[in-house]
Amino acid sequence: MTAFLTTEAEIIAASEGAKELVSLKWLLSELLSDFARKTLVLYINNASTIKLTKDPKYHKRLKHNEVRNFCVWERYFNGDIGIEHADRRTQLADLLTNPIEHVRFEVLCHEFGITYGKQ
């Protein structure tokens, strides 16, 4: 699947994440009886995607977006998942995906439990 806009790519990723989250909730509900009442949270780091997900008035702006990418909206409005903004400072994946400053590199390595250099 090819996304033409950053927001569209984020919606696709959020929809896939929502599907995984619902599947994991079902599995954990089978293992832990009180887990079914919990609302799991999907963290998204793109403000536009969060606005599009939480407010239906923006949906008409993405007419070209395929129906299969609306899963995140459907799951949010059904109450299956919650959506919150992922703070940039807590993005551990930045260590593997983005160029970062040395200090940030050291902090993320520590968060991952990675040690290097002089001990």
**Rounded to an integer, what distance in angstroms lies between the CA atom of residue 32 and that of residue 28?**
6
The arithmetic mean of pLDDT across residues 1-23, rounded, is 81
Q: Which residue has the higher pLDDT, 111 or 61?
A: 111
Helix segments in the chain, DSSP class H: 6-31, 47-54, 71-77, 94-97, 102-112
pLDDT for the residue 69: 63
pLDDT one-digit tens code per residue, 53-104: 887 676 666 655 555 567 788 888 888 899 999 887 777 777 888 888 888 8
**Rounded to an integer, what distance in angstroms lies between the CA atom of residue 35 and that of residue 28?**
6
The neighbour count for residue 12, using CB atoms within 10 Å, is: 20
